[in-house]
A and B are shown apart, each in its own frame.
Chain A
Amino acid sequence: MTESSEQLEQVLGRVRLDPTYLNLWSTFKKIQQLDLRPPDDEKNSLRLAVIGSSTLEPLAACIDVKSRLLGLHVSTFVGGFNTYRQEVLDSKSDLHRSNPDVVVLAVDAWSILDKDFITTFARMSEQELIDKAHELVESVRSVARALEESTSALILVNDFITPVFSPLGIVDSKQRMGLKSFFALANEGLHDAFSQSSRVFVVNLDSIASDFGKSRVINWNTWYRGSIPFSEEFTPVLADEYLRYVRALKGRARKCIVLDLDNTLWGGIIGEDGIEGIKLGTVSPGIEYLDFQRVLLSLYNRGVILAICSKNNYDDAIRVLKEHPHQILREEHFAAMRINWQDKASNIEALAKEINIGLDSMVFIDDNPVERAQVAQAHPEVLVVDMPKNPRLYRETLENLKVFDVLSLTKEDMARGEMYASKRKRSQLEQSATSIEDFLRTLDLKVRIKEVDDFDTPRAVQLIGKTNQFNLTTRRYSDAEVRQFRESRDVAVYTMAVTDRFGDEGVVGVAIVRKSPEEWLIDSFLMSCRVIGRSVETAMLAKIVKDAKTAGISKIKGEYIPTKKNAPARDLYERHGFGSRIEDGEVTTWTLDLETGTVEVPEWIELIEE
């Protein structure tokens, strides 16, 4: 460790304990003086730009330091007072030179509206107001759009804070266009303008401000003295909102919640109170736990993985999950369980291993502060939630965590919980089966292979971008390239979806085939590690072979390019009877002569073609 990075650890350690506005600012200034080298991996660095209509240094400082607390190396550009338009439009500006990967665009509605807007508001016609709202939206939209086109950054645009005061008073809501509906219209326009964009996100500043208390959002002294738009208390809170996007972008979001049972999922202790005695029902005490479980289930239903870590007799605990009439979370919702008398730190380590995720993806929820302290000490990577003593506040505590964010949700992401739970049941079956083929036969595997359609394209691009292990060539094609392949008659992009008796895995495989009149070349062949070991790759290869034969092709070639991670895919072509291996640099090419060879779908797989 260099001297500077040691100093960095010291200052960050202090601000972590007491992240007040003053300490965040002081830390920001201190870090600026250190000579820190950016890391090699993009995922560990953040180039932040904060631009807008007011003095934004304090906000930028809070986002900067909070991002560093996540372990990121940060360089921060802060735009000048109300010069954001020039900065965005001039391709040689310092903003563009800083080559940001996250841009915060904070524009105050009142910096765009005419100075006499509020004075004449009550006299303006509905149409005039609608036009003004559109102008307001267009003014911000055009800047965000220009940013989207001229950078590759994630762009975070604040929506407008609806004022609490209206000159119309209590009849504001009786007008066809009151001040509140004017701002609602503008905000709706802003959200609509970017609902289809994958890089521009409209940040709900209005609701964050409401949650905090609009009367405390601005410090009027610093506003009039230095055009600082947000108060000392609100600025760090707002920074936390941008941090959600930073976490999602840089792979720092959490994926799994590990739950204690007694006094966490229900009131009381199952081993002592019994299934009739624990508090879990439709009136208080007991309803608090139902509501808490409902929020957990809502997160599960969008892809957060749930697991159990409880000190209990297994049979006592599992009986509640199976038989209690009010229990919301059932056995099937949990990807893994450790219900035993071992220490929780080692149980959590075992859970991480079984689910196959990092400890840094886990959140631990337990009512017992001693257990929490043990886990926090053994595994500082795990987010240990400081649960309140009062179970009525469990739900709110969970809702306020805001650490599970993703930048897009595919169908497969949403069903992740089910997939892990089926994996658990599948591995139980595998342990009881006598041979691997017996095991596969009992799975009722169904494989659906087809050329990619509009619906599957985002998932195919996602798999192409992130699959490392079972990936023959690791060619990372972009969304635009995949769409070009689809339009070309010389290329076929196949997707494979897999289901079995335990659940639907969704689209888990992609193959890209380049066709010429004499032979087909398998340019890419990849499969999610979730389905390795179920011989579904044979089915996808068999489908390509079958299509080639139908087209009267005599030869299929397949390529393999070794990487650090793709050893599981190395022998794919060899295993399936491909021969005449030719090595050319890093690329190995295998050939299957279709006049003498073929690939069949395994008898335990039902192939569905479309």
Chain B
Amino acid sequence: MTDINDRLSDILSAVLNIDKDQITDDLRRKDFEAWDSMAHLMIISEIENVFEMFFEDEEVVDIWTVGDLKRILSQKLGN
């Protein structure tokens, strides 16, 4: 799981241009300007490429925080 979290924070830190230690589970799209719709698309497609998986559109719009992302990621990778 730490490996997954590491790779996830690599992606978030690159797309959102923030230091890894600033990435917390309650970081929210709405409160963070850099996390606009284009950045959201980037994050989703990078996760899809890195973890070789695919998100449904409903799942994409339901991700609001880093915590949401981690939860759905571990769910999907667990299946």
Contact = CB atoms under 8 A, between A and B. Distances in A.
Contacts, number: 39
A374 to B, nearest CB: 34
B38 A22 contact: no
A104 B43 CA distance: 26
Contacts of B73: none
A113 to B, nearest CB: 26
- Counting from the closest, the 3 A-B pairs by CB-CB distance are A26-B14, A226-B41, A222-B45
Given A22-B46, A221-B54, A232-B49, A30 B41 contact: no
A33 B18 CA distance: 13
A228 B40 CA distance: 13
B74 to A, nearest CB: 20
B34 A29 contact: yes
A22 B47 CA distance: 11
A455 B71 CA distance: 71
Interface string B27-69: 0000000100110011011101100001101001000000000
A585 to B, nearest CB: 54
Nearest to B48: A221
A408 to B, nearest CB: 38
Given A22-B11, A22-B14, A26-B14, A221 B45 contact: yes
Contact of A57 (B34, B38, B48): B38
5 contacts: A22-B46, A23-B14, A57-B38, A221-B45, A221-B54
Q: B-side binding surface: helix, strand, loop or mixed?
A: helix
Nearest to B15: A26
Given A22-B46, A29-B34, A232-B49, A222 B15 contact: no
B22 interface: no
Given A30-B17, A221-B54, A25 B42 contact: yes
Contacts of B11: 22
A219 interface: yes
Contacts of A226: 37-38, 41
A28 to B, nearest CB: 10
Contacts of A22: 11, 14-15, 42, 46
A225 interface: yes
Interface string A195-226: 00000000000000000000000010110011
Contacts of B44: 225
Contacts of B57: 225
Contacts of A33: 17
A30 B54 CA distance: 28
A232 B45 CA distance: 9
B38 A26 contact: no
Given A22-B46, A29-B34, A232-B49, A225 B15 contact: no
A25 B38 CA distance: 11
Contacts of A57: 38
A396 to B, nearest CB: 27
Nearest to B50: A22
A29 B45 CA distance: 17
Interface string B1-17: 00000000001001101
B17 A26 contact: yes
A29 B17 contact: yes
A85 to B, nearest CB: 23
B11 to A, nearest CB: 7
B15 A228 contact: no
Nearest to B10: A22
Nearest to B39: A29
Contacts of A225: 41, 44-45, 57, 60
A225 B11 CA distance: 19
Given A29-B15, A225-B60, 13 more contacts: A22-B42, A23-B14, A25-B15, A29-B17, A55-B38, A57-B38, A221-B45, A221-B48, A222-B41, A225-B41, A225-B44, A225-B57, A232-B46
Contacts of B41: 222, 225-226, 228
A30 B38 CA distance: 15
Interface string A33-74: 100000000000000000000010110000000000000000
A228 B48 CA distance: 15
Contacts of A232: 45-46, 49
B7 to A, nearest CB: 12
Contacts of A55: 38
A25 B46 CA distance: 12
A161 to B, nearest CB: 21
Contacts of A25: 14-15, 42
Nearest to A23: B14
A575 B26 CA distance: 82
Contacts of B45: 219, 221-222, 225, 232
A221 to B, nearest CB: 6
A332 B57 CA distance: 65
Nearest to B37: A226
Interface in A213-258: 219, 221-222, 225-226, 228, 232
